[in-house]
Amino acid sequence: MERNVTLDFVRGVAILGILLLNIVAFGLPKAAYLNPAWYGDITSRDAWAWAILDLFAQVKFLTLFALLFGAGLQMLLARGKRWIQSRLSLLLLLGFAHAILLWDGDILLAYGLIGLVIWRMIRDAPSGKSLFNMGVVLYLAGVFVLLLLGLISGNQTSRSWVPDLANLQYEQLWKLNGGAEAIDNRLDLLANNLLALGAQYGWQLAGMMLMGAALMRSGWLRGQFSLSHYRRCAAILIPLGMAINLPAIVAQWQLGWDFRWCGFLLQTPRELSAPFQTIGYAALAFGFWPQLARFRLTSAVACVGRMALTNYLLQTLICTTLFYRFDLFMKFDRLSLLAFVPAVWAVNLLLSVVWLRYFRQGPVEWAWRQLTRLTCGSAVTDTSR
């Protein structure tokens, strides 16, 4: 089957864009990911860096990746039940290893788990419209739970929002030293992440995957609509998403990122805005593809998308080495950390372009496919239920 280069490009944008937020998770304590005032005070450069990323990137690229993951599940249905289950189970195992051995910010385990839950919903949906509507319902259910958690959270500031000096020193200690203590802490964080996945985030993740599958089924993510349609979608959805998110950004700033309001309640506008901006970003790529396709950089980003799993893990290896092995953890503020991003992107781009000159798949993608084939036996086209 011929590859959809535009879809590869959008996936590459998602992988590269995720690093804009993950670099904070690599270089600063866990509390800094959502709270720019995690150390109790804040500089204007930190505040502005947070605000701009919150408006354009926070949650958006993860949501875009979830949308494309669901689209991929729709495309995999032709391979049958055993192939899909084996593929997702292997992804789950890879995510578990990634989460406990390398980095506590893993998303692969969550994608594998939710994928195993919802792929049958994609297969059995009577129409793309019903599939999309179910995705919207599930996504809104997750946002509602987030809002509910905010209403019952109370007024006491969480140590995960503003950690004290002892917690900061301990986090620095186990991240830099590694070993059994680091694994033990990553296991604890993984347990908390799985609870959050089951209680709240998993609903949103499932919703975006279903929407992505629906858009693939309808042909929207195959580029089968007119350029003017995609451009109109981008022109409407991106500003709409920003209009939903911007008041919450201003409110958090005015409230000094107080946990009572900002830990949950003022996170909900961002979550509500993400699907609009995400689909808008994809529409932007499809709508202006004739212009984008002229650039070599576009082709390189598409190569990153073809090797998405390899590049995601490569970002972890580079950044954990830089920040944990070379003692750069907690040495830079939010804005300064962004200076590392272009260098990591350059590695992703260069490796992807060179590798795909000689091979059809990235190394991790190849291993994933071969292991899936082995665990399926010969029944790779089984379509039984």
Does residue 349 lie within any of the structural domains?
yes
Cα–Cα distance measured from residue 257 to residue 162, given in angstroms and rounded to the nearest whole number: 10
Asked if 157 contacts 257 with a C-beta cutoff of 8 angstroms, the reply is: no
Give one DSSP letter per residue of 102-165, joined into a string. Answer: T-TT--HHHHHHHHHHHHHHHHH-S-HHHHHHHHHHHHHHHHHHHHHHHHHS-SSPPTTTS--H
pLDDT of residue 205: 97
Domain count, the chain: 1
Which regions in the chain score pLDDT beneath 50? 378-385
Asked if 281 contacts 340 with a C-beta cutoff of 8 angstroms, the reply is: no
Q: How many CA atoms lie within 13 A of 94 on its CB side?
A: 21
Buried b (16+ CB within 10 A) or exposed e, 57-86: bbbbbbbbbbbbbbbbbbbbbebbbbbbbb
pLDDT of residue 156: 66
Cα–Cα distance measured from residue 62 to residue 97, given in angstroms and rounded to the nearest whole number: 20
pLDDT of residue 383: 40
pLDDT of residue 380: 46
Cα–Cα distance measured from residue 55 to residue 245, given in angstroms and rounded to the nearest whole number: 7
- Pick the closest to residue 339 from 350, 352, 328 (CA basis): 328
Q: At which residue do the structure tokens 């150390």 appear? A: 39
The tens digit of pLDDT for each residue in 224-283 reads 999 999 999 999 999 999 999 999 999 999 999 988 889 899 999 999 999 999 999 999
Q: How many CA atoms lie within 13 A of 246 on its CB side?
A: 7
pLDDT of residue 384: 36
Cα–Cα distance measured from residue 124 to residue 131, given in angstroms and rounded to the nearest whole number: 9
Does residue 34 lie within any of the structural domains?
yes
Q: How many CA atoms lie within 13 A of 319 on its CB side?
A: 31
Q: At which residue do the structure tokens 């995510």 appear? A: 95
pLDDT of residue 159: 74
- Pick the closest to residue 266 from 145, 142, 150, 148 (CA basis): 150
Q: Which helix (H) or strand (E) holds 207?
A: helix 202-218
Does residue 248 lie within any of the structural domains?
yes
Does residue 381 lie within any of the structural domains?
no
**Helix, strand, or coil (residue 91):** helix
Q: Which amino acid is at 379?
A: A
Angle at 353 between CA 351 and CA 359, to 5 degrees: 90
Q: At which residue do the structure tokens 């590859």 appear? A: 3
Does residue 265 lie within any of the structural domains?
yes
Which tokens is 163 given? 């950690």
**Helix, strand, or coil (residue 263):** coil
Does residue 45 lie within any of the structural domains?
yes
Cα–Cα distance measured from residue 223 to residue 38, given in angstroms and rounded to the nearest whole number: 43
**Helix, strand, or coil (residue 58):** coil
The tens digit of pLDDT for each residue in 171-228 reads 999 999 999 999 999 999 999 999 999 999 999 999 999 999 999 999 999 999 999 9
Asked if 307 contacts 361 with a C-beta cutoff of 8 angstroms, the reply is: yes
Does residue 321 lie within any of the structural domains?
yes
**Helix, strand, or coil (residue 244):** helix
Asked if 265 contacts 152 with a C-beta cutoff of 8 angstroms, the reply is: no
pLDDT of residue 1: 53
pLDDT of residue 3: 81
Asked if 17 contacts 61 with a C-beta cutoff of 8 angstroms, the reply is: yes
pLDDT of residue 154: 65
Residue ranges making up the domain that contains 305: 5-374
Does residue 149 lie within any of the structural domains?
yes
